[in-house]
């Protein structure tokens, strides 16, 4: 652990010829001081981030419910356009392809493997965790979890 000994100018002046200071020096833990200097400006942001994530979660839930309600009403009314006071909703159809993996690889050959992805959730149901890990490329990324503090005795 890195430490810095900070002497007192007055104490240093009183140092005897045998190297004994008149007043003890202060020991400062550099690592802890540096950490606090780096963390102090963002400490309050943790609560703000937790609040924002909660708002995003609630907004997403509300957006999904509203999208379902508007889409269902437009579909039932047989319209593809609904104007509000400041926006317009357009009900469109999106076509999504779901290629059969075996037929795709048969048609594309070994070059087709570059286009294939594996659902980890499905793969975990099909094989043991160790076997899946053995045939997987493992990457680690930082993830910031934010959880409320549990306060003892507070209601």
What is the rounded distance in angstroms from the CA atom of residue 64 to the CA atom of residue 120? 26
**pLDDT mean over 103-125:** 93
What is the rounded distance in angstroms from the CA atom of residue 121 to the CA atom of residue 137? 15
For the chain, give the mean pLDDT.
84
Please check the confidence at residue 119 and state whether its pLDDT lies above 60: yes
What is the rounded distance in angstroms from the CA atom of residue 69 to the CA atom of residue 79? 14
**pLDDT mean over 127-137:** 93
Cα–Cα distance list, 87 to 67, 83, 84, 133, 151 (Å)? 14, 6, 5, 48, 45
Give the residue with greater pLDDT, 24 vs 113.
113
Output the pLDDT for position 33. 84
Total-model pTM: 0.59
| Helix, strand, or coil (residue 97) | coil
């Amino acid at each position: 652990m890195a430490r810095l000994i900070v002497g007192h100018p007055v104490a240093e002046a009183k140092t005897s010829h045998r190297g004994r200071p008149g007043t003890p020096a202060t020991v400062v833990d550099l690592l802890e001081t540096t950490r606090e200097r780096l963390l102090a400006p963002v400490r309050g942001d943790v609560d703000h981030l937790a609040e924002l994530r909660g708002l995003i979660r609630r907004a997403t839930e509300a957006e999904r419910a509203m999208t379902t309600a508007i889409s269902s009403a437009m579909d039932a009314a047989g319209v593809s356009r609904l104007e509000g006071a400041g926006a317009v909703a357009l009900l469109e159809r999106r076509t999504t392809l779901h290629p059969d993996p075996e037929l795709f690889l048969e048609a594309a050959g070994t070059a087709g493997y570059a286009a294939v992805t594996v659902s980890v959730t499905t793969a975990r149901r099909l094989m043991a965790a160790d076997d899946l890990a053995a045939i997987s490329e493992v990457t680690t990324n930082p993830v910031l979890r934010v959880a409320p503090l549990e306060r003892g005795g507070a209601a």
